[in-house]
Amino acid sequence: MTAITRDEVAHLAKLARLDLSGTELDHYAEQLDVILQSVARISEVAADEIPPTSHPVPVENVFRADIALPGLDRAEVFAAAPATEDDRFRVPRILDEEEA
Amino acid sequence: MTSAAADLIRQSASVLAAAISEGEVSSVEVTKAHLARIAAVDERVHAFLQVTSKAALESAQAIDEKRKSGATLGVLAGVPIAVKDVLTMRGVPTTCGSKILEGWRPPYDATVVSRLRAADLVILGKTNMDEFAMGSSTEHSAYGPTHNPWDLERIPGGSGGGSAAALAAFETPLSIGTDTGGSIRQPAAVTGTVGVKPTYGGVSRYGLVALASSLDQAGPCARSVMDAALLHSVIAGHDPRDSTSINAPVPDVVAAANRGDIRGLRIGLVKELSGEGYQAGVLQRFNESVELLQGLGAEVVEVSCPHFDYALGAYYLILPSEASSNLARFDGMRYGLRVGDNGSNSVEQVMSLSREAGFGAEVKRRIMLGTYALSSGYYDAYYGQAQKVRTLITRDFNAAFEKADVLISPTAPTTAFKIGEKVDDPLAMYLNDIATIPVNLAGNCAMSLPVGLSPADGLPVGLQIMAPPMADDRLYLVGSALESALTDRWGHLLIQEVPNL
């Protein structure tokens, strides 16, 4: 477990879709490093033969009878959307200009 | 405020429900008294993000009419309640304490909200919280902090500080909280109120905006153990809309609170949740309660849960990992804030600009921590290892519950601290939940109840009771025994000592 660099934080921010400012990058690089160092000691006890727990109760697939139930109200859903067009969500362009 | 109205706001939910059911007072009168109290004090407390006065009065009136018609009503019919702003309410702004959801009106009710409505409770509004439930002080709300009614310069705990402060300020007799690492119990402890995290799967998560799906659980907040039990029985139970909801009868928490007899019960003191890091005043009140429990006929044993020392570390890997995935849904496309949609920015740029503008500092910190812990090359070292620690903690609980029927500890290591003291010191802030986190990791249940004021600063101290999964009734059995012994000693509930606002 190595120290986390400012460049790594910038990369993480990109993956997490956060347009962080330069000041934020510096601040988080320092803080994430401190947090990660303090949590790293869990490896002292997490031996290979211990099975992982992802969930406190056993998770199984849940089925229900194939009966139509009322869904959400379209007008209410669109009223809460940032932008709509022709009864659809309007989104910004999804391709880069050279790809378009 | 008239003296009649002043009396109404200080009553317990069970007394109010009985008076409404007998026709001694109407739900409209009770609701008006609480709305007046909110109008008088909430500018200083800031427990509410949204007060739904008109809807509350309309539902109170409908409940009064229903009673007059002779229809059967629920045990808490006509009693007001506040709901943490992380649960959806159809048509009512639900922000999760975040700017990214400012003004969002959900098109559906959370199951907890539907059950409150079906049981004829009157919803007063939505309470303040740390943004997306990330915090232990409510200072991370994008809408400003909530103030602790015991001392307005101090934090009311978090993330459910609004739900706890609203109780301590007599703005509502009941509220709903959610608990991912202590967000019901720690606010209860620092505000002198009662809060319960039910067994994971005991209360539906449908409509609860997810922080960490494998840890989140909604539960009751109240000023007494009996009131919490009544509310617990209203909101708990199987829900086909939540695939992790447990399909089994709800433990009879009300009967347990009524019984309150702990003779012969084995109570385990968790060695690791005491000592260093816990304030002397907290430990003093805790130790006095242990003596009191012994006096009531309980058998007290010491138990060791050696892996609890690693719980905080495991939690701060598991929680950010799940949160970073869950919060990916806030992308400004279907709901919430959208920034930079100027016709030339791409969808990815708009997402990044929206999330940067909409999320606060703690949320960004945890999203990046989770993104890191889940990234290739680090997954095994962090998230994988944390999941193993989770197994070890569950095993510790299982072993301890062989020796004891319930376990106890202080709920929080300190009393309420000053607003601003730890806000940019994440590690200091995270330590507030050191005693509450193991229960979330293992998925069992726990309660915090007030056990006195710390002699050092005159602020409330909470005691935590922990029970095995689906043994939630034991929390109420022990809680009500201890509460009634303390009430005998003091002549009243601790909350009656809160200063006048």
Question: Which amino acid makes up residue B496?
Answer: Q
| pLDDT tens digits for range B62-101 | 999 999 999 989 999 999 999 999 999 999 999 999 999 9
| pLDDT tens digits for range B276-323 | 899 999 999 999 999 999 999 999 999 999 999 999 999 999 999 999
Residue ranges of the alpha helices (H) in B342-384?
347-358, 361-374
Domain residue limits at A28: 6-44
Mean pLDDT of B146-175: 98
Residue A25 lies in a domain: yes
Interface test with A, best of B322, B376, B385 (most A CBs within 10 A): B385
Percent of chain B with pLDDT over 90: 95
Closest chain A C-alpha to B372 CA, distance in angstroms: 7
Query: Is the per-residue pLDDT at B427 higher than 90?
Result: no
B66 contact partners, CB below 8 Å, separation of at least 6: B73, B77, B120
Residue A13 lies in a domain: yes
Residue A16 lies in a domain: yes
Query: Is the per-residue pLDDT at B10 higher than 60?
Result: yes
B467, B406 Cβ separation under 8 angstroms: yes
Q: What is the pTM of this model?
A: 0.97
Interchain CB distance below 8 Å, A28 and B389: no
How many Cα atoms are found within 13 Å in the side-chain-facing hemisphere of B366? 29
| pLDDT tens digits for range B26-59 | 999 999 999 999 999 999 999 999 999 999 999 9
Sign (positive or negative) of CA dihedral A33, A35, A41, A42: negative
Largest CA distance in chain A: 57
Residue ranges of domains in chain B, CATH in brackets: 3-306+395-496 (3.90.1300.10)
Residue A1 lies in a domain: no
Residue A26 lies in a domain: yes
Which residues in chain B are contacts of A28 at CB distance < 8 A? 364-365, 368
Interchain CB distance below 8 Å, B391 and A53: yes
Mean pLDDT of B433-448: 97
- Report the mean per-residue pLDDT for chain B: 96
| pLDDT tens digits for range B101-120 | 999 999 999 999 999 999 99
Interchain CB distance below 8 Å, B371 and A15: yes
Query: What domain count does chain A have?
Result: 1
Q: Which residue from A15, A31, A64 is facing B240, i.e. has the nearest CB?
A: A64
Interface test with B, best of A7, A25, A33, A39 (most B CBs within 10 A): A39
pLDDT at A80: 94
Residue A24 lies in a domain: yes
Largest CA distance in chain B: 73
Query: Is the per-residue pLDDT at A30 higher than 80?
Result: yes
> Which A positions 62-91 lie with beta carbon below 8 A of chain B?
62, 64, 72-73, 76-77, 79-83, 89, 91
Query: Is the per-residue pLDDT at A1 higher than 60?
Result: no
pLDDT at B1: 55
**Looking at residue A19, which CATH number applies to its domain?**
1.10.20
pLDDT at B201: 97
Closest chain B C-alpha to A22 CA, distance in angstroms: 13
Banded model confidence at residue A97, pLDDT cuts 50, 70, 90: low
| pLDDT tens digits for range B327-342 | 999 999 999 999 999 9
Residue A80 lies in a domain: no
Interface test with B, best of A53, A64, A89 (most B CBs within 10 A): A53
pLDDT at A98: 64
Query: Is the per-residue pLDDT at B474 higher than 90?
Result: yes
Q: Does A58 touch chain B (CB under 8 A)?
A: no
Residue with tokens 């962080």: A20
Residue A20 lies in a domain: yes
Cis check: omega of the bond before B159, within 30 degrees of 0: yes
Banded model confidence at residue B207, pLDDT cuts 50, 70, 90: very high
Radius of gyration of chain B (CA): 21
Q: Which residue from A15, A34, A76 is facing B107, i.e. has the nearest CB?
A: A76
What does B1-21 look like in DSSP terms, one character per residue? --HHHHHHHHS-HHHHHHHHH
pLDDT at A4: 86
| pLDDT tens digits for range B354-412 | 999 999 999 999 999 999 999 988 888 899 999 999 999 999 999 999 999 999 999 99
Banded model confidence at residue B4, pLDDT cuts 50, 70, 90: confident
The complex's ipTM? 0.93
Interchain CB distance below 8 Å, A32 and B368: yes
> Which A positions 18-47 lie with beta carbon below 8 A of chain B?
18-20, 24, 28, 31-32, 34-36, 38-47
